Chain A
Amino acid sequence: MSVPSCQLFDQTKEECGVMQSPLVDFSYVGIDAILEQMRRKAMKQGFELNIMVVGQSGLGKSTLMNTLFKSKVSRKSVLATSQEKIPKTIEIKSISHDIEEKGVRMKLTVIDTPGFGDQINNENCWQPIMKFINDQYEAYLQEEININRKKRIPDSRVHCCIYFIPPTGHCLRPLDVEFMKRLSKVVNIVPVIAKADTLTLEERDFFKKKIREELRSNGIDVYPQKEFDEDAEDRMINEKIREMIPFAVVGSDQEYQVNGRRLLGRKTKWGTIEVENIAHCEFAYLRDLLIRTHMQNIKDITSSIHYEMYRVRRLNESNTAVTQANGIPEHHLSAHEM
């Protein structure tokens, strides 16, 4: 090897930002440089995330979304209506925002479901939601089977559904069980205990244990699902998370002065609840799970498992063979509803 090639070699390394000793390393090829290339490409493309929030009116869904993304992304902040009347039927409202942090752009879509569980008769109130989720899968499928497909299919599939459980302190309600049983099969469900500042720590632990038992006895698999753990390391991390779900969260978009710092919280006569303090509530864990550590995993499970299941079911239904010579899809079947 000649000296010039060594120098060139070191230069590329420096460009990648990879720390390396100035000595020549014979065994290094440079494959890990691909990480940097992927990173740059991802930053240019941006990310998409679609979160659905489901729960009765007044459980703090919009506030929690605003708190999670530290900006006014919820339906209430965008739509100017100040009236908070309960709609007569369930509506599905999608609001998209482009947010950016340190050069990383994200198209965040928050899908709200006002009217869920608010009526006197709530039978089948999960049907419009199931239909919406399946419709998004259908739209993606249609794009995929096109002859001339787009380079990047716009992803409107629901990646994660946050289900808000009211903090009764006793156990799940029949409505919660029915909803989660059905929807855990088509989408990643993350259950959270809403407005958790109602519960003392013992009540919270008791409630969580009760909920976990009921989820287990009803066969409801919430995110992170046990069956999708890829290896031992995953399993270890996910087990720790599984021991903590459902997360007891408190949301707030107001700042208060606590000990000289400005913090998000709720101020009452008996104390100030700090949203990001893990001694007070588990909001920080939820945020870490959804955004900082498991976001990509959530998207992967949606596309490789839930979507694939839908696709297989759909394609088996239609009479055309999966491998089509001409690729013209049959549109005669309507969206499948469970």
Chain B
Amino acid sequence: MSQQPKTRKIGQFTNPETPGYVGFANLPNQVHRKSVKKGFEFTLMVVGESGLGKSTLINSLFLTDLYPERVIPGAAEKIERTVQIEASTVEIEERGVKLRLTVVDTPGYGDAINSQDCFSTIISYIDDQFERYLHDESGLNRRHIVDNRVHCCFYFISPLGHGLKPLDVQFMKAIHNKVNVVPVIAKADTLTLRERERLKRRILDEIDEHGIKIYHLPDAESDEDEDFKEQTRILKASIPFAVVGSNQQIEAKGKKVRGRLYPWGVVEVENPEHNDFLKLRTMLITHMQDLQEVTQDLHYENFRSDRLKRGGRLSSHGYVLPLSPAYVPVSPEPEEMDKDMILQEKEAELRRMQEMIAQMQAKMQKTGEE
């Protein structure tokens, strides 16, 4: 970022010290200022079985209490319950930067004895957000589009098993094309260091085996400094993150830390030797922008192209959005099929209209006769 000279004669935009300096290097500053004023929006979805510490982790990550009046239902009530979607929004401000954070919780996931259908609600929610954004984007007034699309999904894996459960695999395969999936090993203080490494390796192997596409951190650019490159390297090597959450202050070694107090010791949340909480937080914060971009460029565009291919009316303003000639589908075959389908639909419409006209004519004749 370049420094503007403190005194500047009006009309003179060149920096007398550097000839040929135009000044558009100042653009990032302007973007920065504008986005700071506008604020950021981020939607994070948390999915995982009951009791994995999701709420505690979210509260720990953002240092808030998102669930002040929480009531955890008993087993009998859980039998009847289906998966619900609960979105809570909180506005966080730090050093003048405003973040409008929405956390979408999915209570009831994986609780039932038969969890066969537990993720259809979640997938429809994600699709609904995409649909709404598409609708807004295609509308007339595009000034205040609210972006409620899910930018990132933390999937909580239980540390107790030997790897991924069948439900984990099925769920991740169902959503990896719709949202950025970040697998997280919950309650990592259950595991010794060796068990943790083994579990991470197991999970990565199973993710590969089943072809699940999790979110990959972008490699550091070559012009970034060494520290950042090193940090990115460490982060990439630690996926999936094994985290412990807590908002309780415990006294340990003379200082107050956030942690969990056991009879045999204190687990410190912010100690990188104890767990990967700091790494998860760093990843989320440094890559928030990238998560939003990937959601926009990859997942949303996939959704949009699928949706438009299927056709149908998008806007309620009476606009029928045609397939623009500039939009070329990837493979030629579906285009022909589309053409056939469109032709068939048009023919069906024509037939219907002809029938209606025939009926109206018949009616007119009747009334004419009477």
Contacts and interface: CB of A to CB of B under 8 A. Distances in A.
Interface stretch (A1-9, A102-110, A115-123, A135-143): A115-123
A57 B115 contact: no
Interface string A174-189: 1111100000000000
B329 interface: no
Contact of B111 (A119, A173, A214, A272): A173
Contacts of B50: 168, 170, 173
Interface string A270-298: 11111000011000000000000000000
B263 A270 contact: no
Contact of A170 (B72, B167, B267, B273): B72
B162 A270 contact: no
Contact of B192 (A201, A210, A218, A266): A266
Given A266-B192, A270-B274, A174 B113 contact: yes
A268 B265 CA distance: 9
A194 B262 contact: no
Given A58-B161, A194-B160, A272-B264, A168 B167 contact: no
A177 B161 contact: no
Interface stretch (B6-14, B33-41, B74-82, B147-155): B74-82
- Interface SS majority for chain B: loop
B266 interface: yes
A120 B170 contact: yes
A197 interface: yes
A122 B265 contact: no
A195 interface: yes
A269 interface: yes
Given A86-B166, A274-B264, A122 B187 contact: no
Interface residues of A, number: 47
B114 A200 contact: no
B331 to A, nearest CB: 34
B189 A268 contact: yes
A175 B49 CA distance: 13
B264 A280 contact: yes
A227 interface: no
B263 to A, nearest CB: 5
Interface residues of B, number: 43
B268 A270 contact: yes
A168 B267 CA distance: 18
Nearest to B268: A270
Interface in B243-281: 260-268, 273-274
Contacts of B261: 200
A13 to B, nearest CB: 49
A174 B78 contact: yes
A267 interface: yes
A166 interface: yes
Contacts of B344: none
Interface string A147-189: 0000000000000000000111111111111100000000000
A211 B143 CA distance: 53
A178 B162 CA distance: 25
Given A173-B78, A173-B111, A214-B75, A121 B263 contact: no
Nearest to A268: B192
B265 A270 contact: yes
B54 to A, nearest CB: 11
Interface in B164-211: 165-167, 170, 187, 189-190, 192-193
Nearest to B202: A84
A52 interface: no
A21 interface: no
A225 interface: no
A20 interface: no
Interface in A77-115: 84, 86
B116 interface: yes
B205 to A, nearest CB: 12
A50 B111 CA distance: 31
B51 A280 contact: no
A58 B168 CA distance: 15
9 contacts: A56-B161, A123-B113, A166-B160, A168-B49, A194-B160, A195-B190, A214-B76, A271-B264, A274-B264
Interface of B: 49-52, 72-76, 78-79, 111-116, 158-163, 165-167, 170, 187, 189-190, 192-193, 260-268, 273-274
Interface of A: 56-60, 84, 86, 118-123, 166-178, 194-195, 197-198, 200-201, 210, 214, 217-218, 266-274, 279-280
Given A118-B165, A170-B72, A173-B50, 17 more contacts: A56-B160, A60-B160, A120-B114, A121-B113, A168-B52, A169-B51, A174-B112, A178-B113, A200-B261, A217-B76, A269-B273, A270-B262, A270-B266, A271-B262, A271-B265, A272-B264, A273-B262
User: Which 9 A-B residue pairs are closest in the complex by CB-CB distance?
Assistant: A168-B51, A271-B265, A58-B161, A271-B264, A270-B265, A172-B75, A174-B79, A84-B162, A121-B114
